Amino acid sequence: MDLLKQRILKDGKVLDGDILKVDSFINHQIDPLLAFETGREFYQRFQNTHTQIDKILTIETSGIAFALCAGYHFNVPVVFAKKHAGRNMSLDVYQGKVYSYTKRTEYTISIAKQFLSPGENILVIDDFLANGQAVLGLLDIARQACANLSGVGIVIEKGFQPGGKMLRSQGVRVESLVVIDSLKDNNISFREA
């Protein structure tokens, strides 16, 4: 997705530890126009899956905007997994574990059972795919709910980290709007489509 590549080149910053900082348009301040374009692109890529998509699943916080934009085009509900169970959270929940390599901690994500039903066709959307742990946590919850996975849509895949390969080797359809092959020497290089 050329618009996204150009924006990453213009405003993305490479931090130590192979981290791409995109908080001026994705992770903190959000560019609505770009976000809506990602939603349209996800729709174009996944609308011809043999099954109709019933629901979009993401994880708070940064996935929500992009999941919502995709959900608008599919005209389906968007459910986000919560990292912190507040007092108004249902107690009847599916839970999954996510290990964060960046924070070196494991945390629990929860989705109320009332928002995920057996047989529903699920599209998972997230902002980044690195080691794939966040997506695996969501897939585990979808499996517990006996929902069907239609695919995974990612805004930025870090192709030099193992998440994408691991998911695809399990037969998961992963569509990433851009794939970054390297962040070496502060140079952002994209994989050619």
Considering the rule CB under 6 A, would residue 20 count as an interface residue with ligand 5GP?
Answer: yes
- Considering only 25, 74, 94, 128, the residue that binds ligand 5GP (CB under 6 A) is 128
The values of phi and psi at residue 51, to 5°, are -110, 150
Segment interacting with ligand 5GP, rule: CB under 6 A, options 16-24, 36-44, 70-78, 82-90:
16-24
What gap in Å lies between CA 24 and CA 12, rounded to an integer?
8
- Residue 81 near residue 110 (C-beta atoms within 8 A): yes
The minimum distance between CB 111 and ligand 5GP, in angstroms, equals 16
The minimum distance between CB 119 and ligand 5GP, in angstroms, equals 27
The minimum distance between CB 75 and ligand 5GP, in angstroms, equals 25
Burial pattern 173-189, b for ≥16 Cβ within 10 A else e, equals ebbbbbbbeebeeeebe
Segment interacting with ligand 5GP, rule: CB under 6 A, options 32-40, 108-116, 126-134, 145-153:
126-134
**Alpha-carbon separation of residue 27 from 12, 94, 127, 161, 171 (angstroms):** 11, 26, 8, 20, 29
User: Per DSSP, what are the bridge partners of residue 99?
Assistant: 106
Q: Extract the runs of DSSP E, i.e. beta strands, from the chain.
A: 13-15, 19-21, 55-59, 78-81, 93-100, 105-112, 121-129, 148-158, 174-182, 189-190
Considering the rule CB under 6 A, would residue 101 count as an interface residue with ligand 5GP?
Answer: yes
**Between 20 and 70, CB nearer to ligand 5GP:** 20
Considering the rule CB under 6 A, would residue 126 count as an interface residue with ligand 5GP?
Answer: yes
**Between 21 and 143, CB nearer to ligand 5GP:** 21
- Considering only 145, 163, 176, 178, the residue that binds ligand 5GP (CB under 6 A) is 163
Considering the rule CB under 6 A, would residue 142 count as an interface residue with ligand 5GP?
Answer: no
The minimum distance between CB 87 and ligand 5GP, in angstroms, equals 25
Kindly state the greatest CA–CA separation across the chain: 48
Considering the rule CB under 6 A, would residue 22 count as an interface residue with ligand 5GP?
Answer: yes
- Residue 98 near residue 109 (C-beta atoms within 8 A): yes
